[in-house]
């Protein structure tokens, strides 16, 4: 039943309804301000500890005052129902746009991402992690402003054990691997999810697709997505690299924070704009100097970062004020409460002493100078030792992350005569094969449609699906594919696919041998126990032996156990 009044708000038309509750258009009875009021489902409020988490999360969200974050106005409780009032954004969510068939080009994707990056940095600086970045939680206003909604909702609901219709809290399609593994979340979880949203805007689909939740969580933890340019060919290569790094499985391999992501995107956009302005003059196609300087901390990067900080400060200065709580004016209804979040007008005398201004300027100049000095030291290209160590670590961990693959290429280009060049090249082959293997695993888990794959990949996917039902037959099929793929084509790609097929065949055979050894050990123990049974239980002894013969396949690993079982059936094991 729709409420008529909640706190100071007169409830109007419903805007949406889901497993967590309903959202209504509402009007403040005194200020006439139009807002959105979300009423939480009663069964959620009844969950143990939920109210405490709700209150704690609201307290942390009060500090968020940013143009890119849907503003929280207040919260309360009415007749057992928890609700909160927030800014009403006239527009649609990215999820609605995608469902309506809209495909975002790379420029639109970059503009949205830049806005979200700054909003996330503001939240992270206040110790607030969103935990559920997805297209449905990014709203586009009628003026094109991207706004993040439902901050902290995943944490509020996460410990209730409550599931909601249509998914899980912390949507699996965009969930960071560490969230999927149940480990503590950090700000870089939001960065991973934002990378997934960028991928979806460009490709029209999330990085992974799976038939059930368990498979999706496995993909998020272990699989590598297809390059986004496969689905959106017009995407700049640098943007593809940025997204790939945001989607790294290891959080330490992602960008330090979302402002660095924004700077990389801005540097790329500026470089591409120069290319267009200079009549398509050929520029370096790798990382632009601005991009590498931003991460290394050069003086120019320091200037850009300083500008980013001051610009963000200007954008949010009207909101960066302390907050106070005030009760609803007038007598409160029985059993009802409402807490408004108000800004304090602390302007006073806007003038500041000149000594204070000069002092602040000096501090800023010293800080920029220090950043420039550190940047000068850090901006040097990675040494051969550093690149070697990075590739070695990735190889040992079987982690074909983007930075490791790039390090292999950098080593080959800059240090071709280094004594370790061949070793690094071999490690690079292993990492690329592991990358291909994970993509094959991705296809198996997600049921990737064959029309999206090459002929070789279709055959490899079929062999992979067979491996779950008949490993021996799948191994033979992989062997045949290894030969077929190489015939008449010695390109690097074909050689890698052939090696992948051969490797999968060997892996399946090793796994089958280990499985037979395990089964032989298990059945051997059962036969030993059967031999110890008294003659009065001869039928039980023979039944066990018969089961062993029926279950164990003949092989080098099982022949000895099978011979013992057949001896029992023949009666030759009698004491």
Bridge partners, residue 452, by sequence: none
Helices 213-222 and 421-446 pack at an angle, to 10 degrees, of: 170
Bridge partners, residue 325, by sequence: 341
| 324: exposed, middle or buried (Cβ count in 10 Å: 0-12, 13-18, 19+) | exposed
| 514: exposed, middle or buried (Cβ count in 10 Å: 0-12, 13-18, 19+) | exposed
So which residues are the catalytic ones? Answer: 132
Among candidates 505, 485, 498, which has minimal Cα distance to 436?
Answer: 498
Can you tell me the distance from the alpha carbon of 138 to that of 70, in angstroms, rounded to the nearest whole number? 9
Structural tokens at position 438: 């994970």
Can you tell me the distance from the alpha carbon of 175 to that of 220, in angstroms, rounded to the nearest whole number? 7
Structural tokens at position 131: 């935990």
C-alpha pair distances (Å), 307 with each of 263, 271, 313: 11, 19, 10
Q: What is the H or E stretch that residue 447 is in?
A: none
Strand spans (E) along 241-330 = 323-327
Three state DSSP letters for 320-383: CCCEEEEECCCCCCCCCEEEEEEECCCCCCCCCCHHHHHHHHHHHHHHHHHHHHHHHHHCCCCC
Q: CB count, 10 Å around CB of 149?
A: 19
Among candidates 36, 85, 82, 86, which has minimal Cα distance to 335?
Answer: 82
Can you tell me the distance from the alpha carbon of 118 to that of 500, in angstroms, rounded to the nearest whole number? 42
Structural tokens at position 302: 């320091």
Among candidates 73, 69, 75, which has minimal Cα distance to 34?
Answer: 73
- Write down how long the chain is: 575
Can you tell me the distance from the alpha carbon of 64 to that of 50, in angstroms, rounded to the nearest whole number? 22
Can you tell me the distance from the alpha carbon of 118 to that of 115, in angstroms, rounded to the nearest whole number? 5
Q: Which residue has the tokens 């009415």?
A: 78
Measured CA angle at 253 (ends 250, 256), to 5 deg: 120
Can you tell me the distance from the alpha carbon of 184 to that of 225, in angstroms, rounded to the nearest whole number? 23
């Amino acid at each position: 039943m729709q409420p008529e009044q909640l706190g100071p708000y007169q409830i109007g038309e419903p805007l949406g309804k889901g497993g967590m509750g309903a959202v209504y258009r509402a009007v403040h009875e005194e200020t006439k301000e139009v807002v959105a009021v979300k009423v939480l489902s009663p069964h959620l409020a009844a969950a143990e500890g939920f109210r405490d988490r709700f209150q704690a999360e609201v307290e942390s969200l009060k500090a968020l005052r940013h143009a890119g974050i849907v503003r929280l106005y207040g919260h309360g409780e009415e007749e057992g129902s928890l609700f909160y009032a927030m800014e009403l954004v006239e527009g649609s969510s990215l999820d609605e746009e995608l469902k309506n068939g809209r495909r975002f080009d790379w420029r639109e994707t970059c503009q949205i991402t830049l806005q979200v990056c700054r909003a996330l940095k503001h939240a992270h600086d206040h110790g607030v992690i969103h935990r559920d970045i997805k297209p449905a939680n990014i709203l586009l206003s009628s003026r094109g402003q991207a706004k993040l909604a439902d901050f902290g909702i995943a944490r509020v609901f996460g410990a209730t054990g409550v599931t909601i219709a249509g998914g899980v809290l912390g949507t699996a399609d965009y969930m960071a691997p560490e969230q999927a593994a149940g480990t503590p979340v950090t700000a870089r979880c939001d960065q991973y999810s934002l990378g997934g949203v960028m991928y979806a805007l460009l490709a029209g689909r999330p990085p992974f697709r799976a038939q059930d939740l368990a498979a999706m969580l496995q993909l998020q933890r272990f699989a590598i997505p297809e390059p986004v340019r496969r689905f959106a060919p017009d995407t700049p290569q640098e943007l593809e690299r940025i997204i790939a790094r945001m989607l790294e499985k290891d959080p330490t391999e992602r960008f330090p924070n979302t402002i660095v992501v924004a700077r990389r995107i801005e540097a790329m956009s500026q470089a591409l704009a120069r290319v267009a302005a200079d009549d398509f003059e050929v520029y370096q196609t790798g990382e632009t100097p601005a991009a590498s300087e931003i991460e290394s901390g050069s003086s120019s990067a320091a200037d850009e970062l300083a500008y980013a900080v001051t610009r963000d400060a200007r954008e949010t200065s009207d909101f960066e004020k302390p907050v106070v709580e005030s009760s609803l004016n007038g007598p409160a209804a029985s059993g009802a409460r409402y807490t408004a979040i108000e800004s304090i007008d602390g302007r006073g005398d806007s003038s500041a002493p000149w000594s204070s201004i000069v002092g602040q300027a000096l501090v800023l100049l010293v800080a920029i100078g220090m950043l420039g000095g550190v940047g000068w030291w850090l901006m040097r290209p990675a040494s051969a030792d550093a690149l070697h160590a990075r590739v070695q670590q990735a190889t040992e961990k079987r982690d074909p992350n983007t930075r490791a693959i790039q390090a292999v290429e950098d080593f080959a280009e800059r240090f071709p005569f280094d004594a370790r060049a061949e070793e690094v090249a071999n490690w690079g082959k292993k990492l690329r094969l592991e990358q291909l293997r994970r993509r094959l695993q991705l296809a198996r888990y997600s049921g990737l449609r064959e029309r999206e794959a090459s002929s070789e990949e279709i055959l490899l996917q079929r062999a992979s699906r067979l491996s779950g039902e008949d490993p021996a037959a799948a191994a033979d099929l992989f062997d045949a594919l290894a030969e077929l793929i190489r015939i008449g084509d010695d390109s690097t790609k074909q050689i890698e696919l052939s090696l992948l097929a051969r490797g999968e065949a060997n892996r399946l055979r090793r796994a089958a041998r280990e499985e037979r050894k395990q089964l032989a050990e298990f059945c051997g123990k059962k036969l030993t126990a059967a031999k110890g049974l008294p003659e009065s239980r001869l039928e039980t002894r023979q039944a066990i032996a018969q089961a062993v013969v029926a279950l164990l396949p003949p092989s080098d690993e099982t022949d000895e156990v099978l011979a013992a079982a057949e001896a029992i059936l023949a009666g030759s094991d009698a004491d």
